[in-house]
Amino acid sequence: MRDEMNKALDEVEFTIFDTETTGLEPGSGDRIVEIAAIRFRGKETVSTFQTLVNPNRQVSEGAFRVNHITREMLESAPAIEAVLPDFLNFIKGSCLCSYNAPFDMEFLENELKLANVSPPAGLVVVDILSMARKLLPGLPRYALWSVAQKLGAACEQRHRAFADVEMSLDVFRKLGDIMRLKRIIDYKGLVVLFGLDSPFLQDITSQKIAQIQEAIDLGVKIRIQYFSSSGAQVSEREVAPKVIKLDNNKAYLVGYCCLKHEERTFRIDGILHLEII
């Protein structure tokens, strides 16, 4: 996995997926009624996935007003138990992405639990909405169609799974162009900044904390590549680390910044790369 993390973005296979559901609350019994995905690498589409899913329950009026999926459309659709093996095989070995990934992942994880199926080991999930918020700070709204319009991408949101995946893919690629301009060029940088919390991300954070603590113990400086969320900028800095602080489950480095000639605080999850000098 560490070798994979050092790859350039265009060398990694991603899968963008989207779900349509009976409502907004899987904990209250809402289920997936449609799932779609596009697997790609760079500019090349590797494969596509699309199916309706029979949820064995009514689509709520609110959900129907959004996705226009009727009970009749779902009667002959496969059950989720038949869909999940094919979908899990489709995403295997790729980085899973979604626009507002926590929402889609909550539904997917609920369906996996109900079907007594384990999620793929080592699955890495990236939230495209988080990418938009961090790379395009200050927008009045971050609905998918609004961000697509801002980026000059196709922006007619039809609220069907495959159409939303196509729009999300266009947005992902244009945000990727912005990342490259900011010198965020590898897979690790993408996952560190925009990945959902996972054991793998926690391991990366632990490694960075261990390196910083080593520098503190040795009394030496570190060189970091740092993403500032306030200005959506990436900078190279030399820092004399003083202490590691925890606040609201977030880890911070406090140290003397040679670039700014003053003591500064850095979010450790904003450190893309780190080396001891």
Q: Which residues are catalytic?
A: 159
Q: Which of 126, 127, 176, 130 minimizes the C-alpha distance to 151?
A: 176
Q: Is 173 helix (H, G, I), strand (E, B) or coil?
A: helix
Rounded CA-CA distance 156/147 in Å is: 11
Alpha helices in the chain (DSSP H): 2-5, 61-67, 71-74, 80-91, 101-114, 128-135, 144-151, 161-181, 187-194, 199-218
Q: What does R_g of the chain's alpha carbons equal in angstroms?
A: 21
Residue 120 carries which DSSP code? P
CB distance 186 to 193 below 8 Å: no
Alpha helices in 25-160 (DSSP H): 61-67, 71-74, 80-91, 101-114, 128-135, 144-151
* HSE, side-chain direction, 13 A CA sphere, residue 123: 17
Residue 269 carries which DSSP code? G
Largest CA distance in the chain: 69
Rounded CA-CA distance 163/2 in Å is: 33
Rounded CA-CA distance 52/36 in Å is: 9
